[in-house]
Structure 1
């Protein structure tokens, strides 16, 4: 087996930075009681100003007045780690969060799909950067050694024959042993892990207990304590608190892009799609008694999707048409309808132009911008009256066919136009010639909407072809019912 470890050393900081469009600005996370607030962690820009973890908030403001601060939230960091576990699940069915501030995943079974460690590492690195998480990676024959290797370098990989020599050179303070044990070993004059491996086991167990031996065996792969493996949840629920009041939908686009990207990562990990999700816009309490309930925006899709750009585009279209009853202070995305995802079939040599959108994406984009009721398909209906021979169908046939569905649309005869007018209107152009007709349509006596018409295919003086009628047996003016392309 081969295991990769993804160390997330600044997870709590990354959770805050990835929610802001300018992550390079100085930021410090604070914790502690109100009277003794201190810095839990700082980003690189704040460290360049002289701020350090453990510094009091008062001293931090004295050093760098106006530095941006946020509350340290360990629960938010753990939720982000669970999101990354869902993302990593696409690469391995054995993903564990048992190690603090890290993920481990078994990658031997992924070689055939994703390539050897250099290719897989490059792919993991690119996707983690896109998601906004700093990290270090290493791979080893067992998860415990992989976790230890992330403490000494980036991208390290050792096979079975090279693992023990590499571990022997590792400083014991980087090995992952608990601090009290490390301090006791250092007092004994031990500096490298190889020196600890060389000690007799029985005296070592009497001095430090069996836990140390189990840890050393796990590092060498002699014994592997069981791990708890991650199972993706059946729903996606994520929330971003803005830290300010947003009064327009434009100000919500950056957190919306982050939420839809997280949803796409979650869906990719579970190899599924989303058919419907909700945006919940949380509003500020304006008085002690008055509080607007969250505004709900439903985003429904005709077919399951999981591409981040498409999910963002659809959500943005719905959001821009929403009326905000009050300023928004938090944005939440909830997805519970997660059917299987089947990618659309593509030709090896795609005939579409490079910038052309696939039909499914274009359809969803139009629905988001124009509204569900304005984008629909057509289905044939068994009625001879032209205006009733077709019915709108929401969704794709056959998936959207229900009680309003009819038979599949037949091929139109050459004498029937593809474009019918919503309301027939008098033909105002002079008729150059009659190409076909008359064709009599007489129907509808059973529902008090009887029609008796003689239809003609005519060509106007401008060369346009129209489908026009007059009352059956009459010689009145022609009424245009449709045009030919």
Structure 2
């Protein structure tokens, strides 16, 4: 697993201000993963499943750090579990993946683990200074003298037992407040604090796969104001189409704030997304943008083959073969496509084939894959290949294919062999 811990800068405001800043950071973090948790003063994210989506660990780290600094993130750390990432970020160590976790944690001060805090003085009196010192104490004596919570936390931070977290839920509606560090007397200067709120809004929109078409910025006047000034003001910004581009939203807001005159100093901001619509992102493509602008795919492939070499640009070609493993082959894109394709079939074909069929367990007469499979369609017999050999490999197959349903894995493609003395069931593909 891969976890990151984000440690915000200490807030100079009230405790409520600190909690609001932490919740805002968690809301922004939901764009990277749905597994976001609050842990004491930090925000934890489990991002193992998000690494490829955001271009790898380095790209994900850079984006989290660059955007997070605008929201007050002072430090971050990476580790195989959440408590270890929290301990490392408190110690100012960013990379917990470069060295063995056990050796790294043993050197950390005791106060990097929250469960140690109630017992810190006692542990110091018996000579403990680091997490390694605490872990080296006899477990029986540790359990009798201290609470079980300390032992559980030690096991969790070292990855010996799983963690349990309360995940942050994505709010249905966006409304965030920011207490300004100093009173603002000119409206354009509100953009500095509003940009921080817009950054959180952008993360919330990304998590919802949506864009905003209207948002309202509210400001509250300082308590030491004249009665004529009122409690505050507001401004609503509208866009022609849904967007979550923070630079575009900041430019629009800046243009409108330039024409606003504040009646009193402002100490508090509140941003509300008033109109939100689904936003369908354009899929990233390995091909040039000219393909989407009308250039034929064949011409693009020819140019890529000329740049990279003909053997580096391949296209799939359907073959006239009933056996699924050899129904498709790859050929250089520059070669002409054959006229004949694969033969038709009565059953639907899966979008994903396994590199090699996976043998399944059988309960009674039914195959098992994440539970007992329900056979939906079939059988369709695929037979042939007695003439086809590749070295010592005999490619002769006699199989009965079925479309089956798994309660956990969804719709799958399985077959039963007919050549073997004891027929067996195999998983061969998944339907998208």
SS in 2 for 1:298: strand
Asked if the contact 1:234–1:336 (Cα under 8 Å) also holds between the matched residues in 2, the reply is no
Q: Residue in 2 aligned with 1:4?
A: 4
SS in 1 for 2:237: strand
What do the CA deviations read for 1:302-338 (whole angstroms, capped 9, x no partner)?
21111111111222333344565x2352443211322
Q: Residue in 2 aligned with 1:337?
A: 275
1:149 positional shift: 1.8
SS in 2 for 1:273: strand
CA–CA distance in structure 2, aligned partners of residues 312 and 192 of structure 1: 47
Asked if the contact 2:143–2:151 (Cα under 8 Å) also holds between the matched residues in 1, the reply is yes
**From 137, 144, 152, the counterpart of 2:76:** 137
SS in 1 for 2:235: strand
SS in 2 for 1:156: coil
- 2:108 counterpart of 1:109: no
What do the CA deviations read for 1:228-247 (whole angstroms, capped 9, x no partner)?
1011212222344554462x
SS in 2 for 1:138: strand
Tell me the matched-pair count. Answer: 288
> 1:118–1:169: structure 2 CA closer, same or farther, 3 Å change rule?
same
**From 183, 203, 207, the counterpart of 2:141:** 203
1:289 positional shift: 6.0
> 1:220–1:283: structure 2 CA closer, same or farther, 3 Å change rule?
closer
Please give the TM-score of this superposition, normalised by the length of structure 1: 0.53
CA–CA distance in structure 2, aligned partners of residues 253 and 199 of structure 1: 54
CA–CA distance in structure 2, aligned partners of residues 255 and 165 of structure 1: 42
Asked if the contact 1:121–1:155 (Cα under 8 Å) also holds between the matched residues in 2, the reply is no
**From 309, 313, 327, the counterpart of 2:264:** 327
**From 244, 252, 257, the counterpart of 1:314:** 252
CA–CA distance in structure 2, aligned partners of residues 273 and 124 of structure 1: 20
Please give the TM-score of this superposition, normalised by the length of structure 2: 0.59
> 1:201–1:339: structure 2 CA closer, same or farther, 3 Å change rule?
same
Asked if the contact 2:90–2:112 (Cα under 8 Å) also holds between the matched residues in 1, the reply is yes
**From 278, 287, 292, the counterpart of 2:216:** 278
Q: Residue in 1 aligned with 2:206?
A: 268
**From 186, 190, 195, the counterpart of 1:257:** 195
1:213 positional shift: 1.1
> 1:350–1:316: structure 2 CA closer, same or farther, 3 Å change rule?
farther
Which structure 1 segments of 5+ residues have no match? Answer: 14-71, 353-485
> 1:95–1:239: structure 2 CA closer, same or farther, 3 Å change rule?
closer
Q: Residue in 1 aligned with 2:398?
A: none
CA–CA distance in structure 1, aligned partners of residues 5 and 194 of structure 2: 30
SS in 2 for 1:12: coil
Give RMSD over aligned pairs: 3.1
Asked if the contact 2:188–2:254 (Cα under 8 Å) also holds between the matched residues in 1, the reply is no
1:218 positional shift: 1.1
1:211 positional shift: 1.6
1:350 positional shift: 10
- Structure ID, larger Rg: 1
What do the CA deviations read for 1:358-413 (whole angstroms, capped 9, x no partner)?
xxxxxxxxxxxxxxxxxxxxxxxxxxxxxxxxxxxxxxxxxxxxxxxxxxxxxxxx
Asked if the contact 2:215–2:271 (Cα under 8 Å) also holds between the matched residues in 1, the reply is yes
Asked if the contact 1:83–1:266 (Cα under 8 Å) also holds between the matched residues in 2, the reply is no
Which structure 2 segments of 5+ residues have no match? Answer: 294-432
Asked if the contact 2:29–2:36 (Cα under 8 Å) also holds between the matched residues in 1, the reply is yes
CA–CA distance in structure 1, aligned partners of residues 223 and 137 of structure 2: 64
CA–CA distance in structure 1, aligned partners of residues 291 and 84 of structure 2: 46
Alignment map for 1:390-409 (pairs within 5 Å): none
> 1:84–1:221: structure 2 CA closer, same or farther, 3 Å change rule?
same
Q: Residue in 1 aligned with 2:170?
A: 232
CA–CA distance in structure 2, aligned partners of residues 285 and 6 of structure 1: 33
> 1:103–1:244: structure 2 CA closer, same or farther, 3 Å change rule?
closer
Asked if the contact 1:168–1:192 (Cα under 8 Å) also holds between the matched residues in 2, the reply is yes
- 2:35 counterpart of 1:85: no
Asked if the contact 1:276–1:300 (Cα under 8 Å) also holds between the matched residues in 2, the reply is yes
SS in 1 for 2:121: helix
1:192 positional shift: 3.4
Alignment map for 1:365-376 (pairs within 5 Å): none
More strand by share: 2
CA–CA distance in structure 2, aligned partners of residues 12 and 350 of structure 1: 50
Asked if the contact 1:92–1:105 (Cα under 8 Å) also holds between the matched residues in 2, the reply is yes
CA–CA distance in structure 1, aligned partners of residues 131 and 223 of structure 2: 57
